[in-house]
Amino acid sequence: MNDAPNRSPSRSLGRTELVDLPQLPWLGANAVIDSGAYHCAIHCINFHLDGDALLVTWQGGTVTRHEQFRKVTVKSSFGDKQERYLIYLQLRVYGEDFNQEFSLSDRSRMRNPLLLGRTFLKRGFIVNVRRRNSSAKYLSRTIPPSPAAP
How do residues 12-40 score in pLDDT, each as one tens digit? 999 999 999 999 999 999 999 999 999 99
Q: What is the mean pLDDT of the chain?
A: 89
Q: Which amino acid is at 59?
A: Q
CATH number, domain of 72, equals 2.40.70.10
Helix (H, G, I), strand (E, B) or coil at 138: helix
pLDDT-above-90 percentage for the chain: 74
Alpha carbons 41 and 35: distance in angstroms, whole number? 13
Mean pLDDT over 132-145 rounds to 79
Residue 107's alpha-carbon distances to 92, 98, 117, 123, in angstroms, are 20, 22, 15, 24
Domain that holds residue 118: 11-127
The radius of gyration of the chain's CA atoms, rounded to the nearest angstrom, is 16
Q: Is residue 93 part of a domain?
A: yes
Q: Is residue 143 part of a domain?
A: no
Q: Is residue 80 part of a domain?
A: yes
Other CB atoms within a 10 A radius of the CB of residue 37 amount to: 20
Q: Is residue 2 part of a domain?
A: no
Q: What is the pLDDT of residue 118?
A: 96
When divided into structural domains, the chain yields a total of 1
Q: Is residue 42 part of a domain?
A: yes
Q: What is the pLDDT of residue 103?
A: 97
Q: Is 40 left (phi over 0), alpha (psi -120 to 50) or beta?
A: beta
pLDDT band for position 7 (cuts 50, 70, 90):
very low
